[in-house]
Structure 1
């Protein structure tokens, strides 16, 4: 069977043949050697590990497709919000780039509801053994409205509890004995009583970290079914669980670093590195900071455990690349998305990014010991729920409302008022 990867499209072939009729066989050969289309890809990886990772991805793509001209058109700032604003305007105005960095899942519902994304099951997902290599969670995220419309490239785990080994040993805390989020309160108190360190490093300057923490507590304390019901808007039916998990986070607050309201997550994470905090809950991008510290060795100086109560669960945040309608370069975009879903692309991109591949057949050789452990736990996970705090489990409007409710929470720590905000977030 002839595929787009093996030859040019029928339209391109006919155009080339028409040119060859006038200019001879040499004209056809010249046409086929030219750049067929320019691939415009927008992303927000403009610095640090992300910049290194995306460059590695495009280097691999260009090695395989040297005749595709790549136009990277990054939009920096706002933790991706600036890019999302640009993309929303372009896509809804029928002037999309070829593809862009996007959180998959419910984050893409505004585009699928407006019929602005193409079904790529046959053109992309049927190639490279993708369906066999991707587990259920990433596949579900790739088809928010039923059809495959995007290709996940990486996975960052959300339900982590990182810790400074020396601090918790000094405090007499054994992380393996902390079995639920509510049990963690006692461990934080132990740190506070026995060391000069904060029990938990955290930032409340912006709401997303607390939304991420609270949803992980909800998952760990009350289980996957309750978490899923919440993401589906069944808040009042789970009032007791929602309020109880909010109260647990409010209890953690007593053990946060004193400057939680004036620092970002990187400054909070630095407190784990320098021994001024015992624990931090964060996505596994936090480990990228540990990797860059001389003498801060994994399992010896820092370590990680699934957040209490979430063992066997791998909560997913991912980046992906969709295929928009009115695509300015459909052939080049098809090639690019097939490449994004390949072993080679994910082997190149994920080690420098500090993430793991959604494919389960990528060799672990290029990954360090922490990510190797994450890969094993992902592949053996009983469930792979999608992150709420990053818009994979809820649509953008609901996410904004949830962030507003969390902003109210961190300013007042009022459980009942925050619960009402969570109910209203879905209405």
Structure 2
């Protein structure tokens, strides 16, 4: 009889647990993102596993495309038809645009319970709010103005990491003479713009960058400094290979990893690819601020904006927001992604020297005024303005005939049309 009671009790307990787990498992989130390359996919999977460990479901809605343009097109279609995902990877000014449409759900209850105001730097927190309320959660801070290099290729060419634009061209010529591609690049509009904004930052400094690519000041966009930056940007084609058109960014990174190319100008998500390949920073690959931008930090904050949902889905959504900023995910995600945590209070001992340098530079430039939002990665201007600038930059970069003065004039026209 006792044996029967124990068996019955165990069976009843198991059934109750199964029913409870089933009901919790029914609460799930659908997450739209474009973390699809090797390092990025590993990073996103960390959050999925944390959600599942708490009994929530995760429906992955991954849309390939490093710049996120395709994902945003899909999101707009879904949202406008009344069927948005629970959360979506949205950045910068676009968070405000979605907020203005009345489609985002607030996260103030989670933010207050978890102390987000104390955890997050003001620059980061401000981007996450709409109309005073948190509507998005940051998962990281990327630095865009990085230069990556293969030390063996540099050694073969007899050069060191360049610290100025002039040194970049000198090193590039030596690398070509040694039989390698000097600068790996993917000929896509967002990648062209990524390189361009670092050249502009090196040419004009942070104040000029702010005037031109954030404030859209017409004198800055059409002036001599812009012309100089455009001419230098165009010269970089001389350091790239003829097969770059349409190449994905991570393929360009693999060219550096495999020793086919010497260097790449790309944000620190490239480090996720080096990490996924089992390489060690400072030994197997080198990192430094993009030449001429040592005192500046171009930031790109990945975030998950939450759409207005109800019931169990909202419960799961709130859990997603909480977990995204907790130390377990922040450390694991950023170790895999190549970025630094959105909250600067974490122990960085597990991070490599590139990440530690990035956090140090972020804090220093935040104090000194050298933080600038990345235009190329949706942090500086609205999507329509960004698209207009992309068109000018990539058309100029790929044109044999367009003069820098004409491109600068088109920049002014693009800004005027958007205002």
> Normalising TM by the smaller chain, what interval?
0.7 to 0.9
Q: Deviations over 1:21-49 (max 9, x none)?
A: xxxxxx9xx99994384433333345633
Following superposition, the deviation at residue 105 of structure 1 comes to 0.9
Aligned residues: 389
Alignment of 1:112-127 (within 5 A): 112-120=99-107, 122-127=108-113
Counterpart of 1:421 (choices 387, 390, 410) is 410
After TM superposition, the score normalised by the length of structure 1 is 0.81
Counterpart of 1:405 (choices 368, 392, 396) is 392
Counterpart of 1:57 (choices 13, 35, 47) is 47
Q: Which residue of 1 aligns with 2:345?
A: 361
Following superposition, the deviation at residue 136 of structure 1 comes to 3.3
Q: Secondary structure at the match of 1:385?
A: strand
Following superposition, the deviation at residue 275 of structure 1 comes to 3.2
Query: Contact 1:154 / 1:355 at 8 angstroms: preserved in 2?
Result: yes
Greater CA drift, 392-401 or 344-353: 344-353
In the alignment, is residue 229 of structure 1 matched against residue 216 of structure 2?
no
Query: Contact 1:105 / 1:144 at 8 angstroms: preserved in 2?
Result: no
Q: Secondary structure at the match of 1:315?
A: strand
In the alignment, is residue 254 of structure 1 matched against residue 254 of structure 2?
no
Counterpart of 1:392 (choices 342, 367, 379) is 379
CA gap 1:293/1:253 in 2 versus in 1, 3 angstroms = same
Query: Contact 1:106 / 1:393 at 8 angstroms: preserved in 2?
Result: yes
CA gap 1:143/1:48 in 2 versus in 1, 3 angstroms = same
Q: Deviations over 1:135-167 (max 9, x none)?
A: 233223223666432111123221001112233
Q: Which residue of 2 aligns with 1:307?
A: 290
Q: Deviations over 1:111-142 (max 9, x none)?
A: 1222222443x323333232222223322322
The CA RMSD over aligned residues, in Å, is 2.9
In the alignment, is residue 132 of structure 1 matched against residue 118 of structure 2?
yes
After TM superposition, the score normalised by the length of structure 2 is 0.82
CA gap 1:37/1:390 in 2 versus in 1, 3 angstroms = same
CA gap 1:293/1:397 in 2 versus in 1, 3 angstroms = same
Q: Which residue of 2 aligns with 1:151?
A: 137
Following superposition, the deviation at residue 397 of structure 1 comes to 1.1
Query: Contact 1:143 / 1:149 at 8 angstroms: preserved in 2?
Result: yes
Task: In structure 2, list runs of 5 or more residues that go unmatched.
Answer: 1-15
Q: Secondary structure at the match of 2:301?
A: strand
Q: Secondary structure at the match of 2:139?
A: strand
Query: Contact 1:105 / 1:143 at 8 angstroms: preserved in 2?
Result: no
